[in-house]
Chains A and B, each alone.
Chain A
Amino acid sequence: MLDGPCIIDFNLDDTPSSMVAFLSRISPILRDMDAGLPVLTELDLRRCKFLGPSAVSLIASIHRHASMRGQAWKVQMPEGPAKLLAFCEFSGLGSLLHGTAAPPSEHPDSETAPLFFIQGPPAGEAERLVRLVARHTELSENNAEYLRIGFNEMVQNVADHGRSPVGCVACARFVASRGQVVVAIVDRGVGIPTKLRSSHPEIPTAAEAMRRVLMGGWSSKSRPNNAGQGISNLAQFSRMLRGGLWIISESAWITTRDGEPLRAGEPRGWRFAGTAVFFTLGVAEPLRPSVP
């Protein structure tokens, strides 16, 4: 445990680089958790000026897992700007961390699908994302279905392989200016590298395991419905809908471009027990500035 808190003095904006930096900064907290310490190092977000669904889902998954294990954890919430304070409330992060009343989840102006927790396989939760986008823009039947299937593929993966004690922790946001929905799904179970390498021990590294699941056809085949296509299908959806996909699992991370693996890495110094999948799909036309 550190003498002081883990201070986040940069923005957590749903980019791979900010999330990798975040995980590196909170590595003492992750180590405390793995060591079973009763009190975890504090997280200080007061200097952070932007949080996205990715950070909210990661923090919520850690918090819920720690609570289940009886580990105490204090988080200092951001102090501004107003838009970030609103996001902290409407994402449900504030109520989760401080036990306050849950915010209204489907306000017509809300750009957020607040944190939700899924135990087991998908059972219609993807409709929350469809309703989120449909509140703000016209959503075609095809794009709504890409969103449903992409989300369900990830939740099914966790149910099949993850054995996550917290199930899936999900959060989403619609970014009207880009016409994109940003979705984060985090679990705290068995990671992709461990699971895949248990049935394919010839795979040399965790990053290589990540690359193979993105390419498709690689699976532990632990259940009859597995053929190793869920993640590669989502990668293809992100290609078709000018979006992106990136994944952190255990000690490795990977990003895509045009549906193909782009960059992968295994940074030293941190390990996230579980898997975090972040994807964006351009389900609507970006807003163009109006011409006077």
Chain B
Amino acid sequence: MLIEVSTIYDPTQPVETIGMAVANRIVDALQSVPQDESVRVSLAGVRGAGSSFYNVVLRGVEKWAGMQALETRVRFEFDLKPQEFVFGQSLRALRAERRSSGSRS
């Protein structure tokens, strides 16, 4: 299944609103495809999305579908290097947070 974020993304909307809308679409898609299938999330055409947007998306998916599903069943695709860089930093921060909370528990 393919989710084209550019059809949802509206840069005039608050980042929490639009990020949660994307996260919900991903979670819905994960629930509607077989467990061994992945969901492709294309960021092609999305412009100006900063770390706040990716933080909301990643945390939303992790909260409702779990870190393992996020890491193994969701495939993010980009058309520009800056998108991929910022996304990578957000994912790295989330992993670090989870490692640190896991090590405390």
Contact = CB atoms under 8 A, between A and B. Distances in A.
Interface stretch (B29-37, B64-72, B85-93): B85-93
A142 B82 CA distance: 7
B50 to A, nearest CB: 5
A131 to B, nearest CB: 13
What is the interface of chain B mostly: helix, strand, loop, or mixed? Answer: helix
A79 interface: no
A152 B48 contact: yes
Given A123-B12, A124-B12, A142-B80, A227 B93 contact: yes
A204 B94 CA distance: 26
**A122, A123, A152: residue with the most chain B Cβ atoms closer than 10 Å:** A152
A5 to B, nearest CB: 40
A158 B14 CA distance: 14
Contact of A229 (B19, B49, B89): B89
Contacts, number: 84
B52 A230 contact: yes
Contacts of B15: 121, 156, 225
A224 B81 contact: no
A227 B55 contact: yes
Contact of A216 (B14, B48, B59, B89): B89
Interface string A119-162: 00111101000000000000001100110110011001000100
Interface residues of B, number: 28
Given A122-B11, A123-B11, A124-B12, A142 B51 contact: no
Contact of A225 (B55, B80, B82, B97): B55
Contacts of B96: 217
Contacts of B80: 141-142, 145
Contacts of B85: 233, 236
Interface in A213-241: 216-217, 223-230, 232-233, 236-237
A287 to B, nearest CB: 25
A149 B55 contact: no
- The contact size tier of chain A is 20 to 34
B79 to A, nearest CB: 8
A166 B8 CA distance: 31
A153 to B, nearest CB: 5
Contact of A152 (B19, B50, B55, B94): B50
Contacts of A149: 48-50, 82-83, 86
Given A121-B15, A123-B12, A237-B82, A225 B53 contact: yes
Please list the 7 inter-chain residue pairs (A to B) with the smallest Cβ-Cβ separation, ordered nearest first: A225-B52, A148-B48, A229-B51, A145-B82, A227-B93, A123-B12, A153-B50
23 contacts: A121-B14, A121-B15, A122-B11, A124-B11, A124-B48, A142-B81, A145-B47, A145-B48, A145-B81, A160-B52, A224-B55, A224-B56, A225-B53, A225-B56, A226-B55, A227-B97, A228-B93, A229-B51, A229-B89, A230-B50, A233-B51, A233-B85, A236-B85
Given A225-B53, A227-B93, A229-B51, 17 more contacts: A122-B50, A124-B11, A124-B48, A145-B83, A148-B48, A149-B48, A149-B83, A152-B49, A156-B50, A156-B52, A216-B93, A217-B96, A225-B15, A226-B52, A229-B93, A230-B51, A233-B89
Interface of A: 121-124, 126, 141-142, 145-146, 148-149, 152-153, 156, 160, 216-217, 223-230, 232-233, 236-237
Interface of B: 11-12, 14-16, 19, 47-53, 55-56, 59, 80-83, 85-86, 89-90, 93-94, 96-97
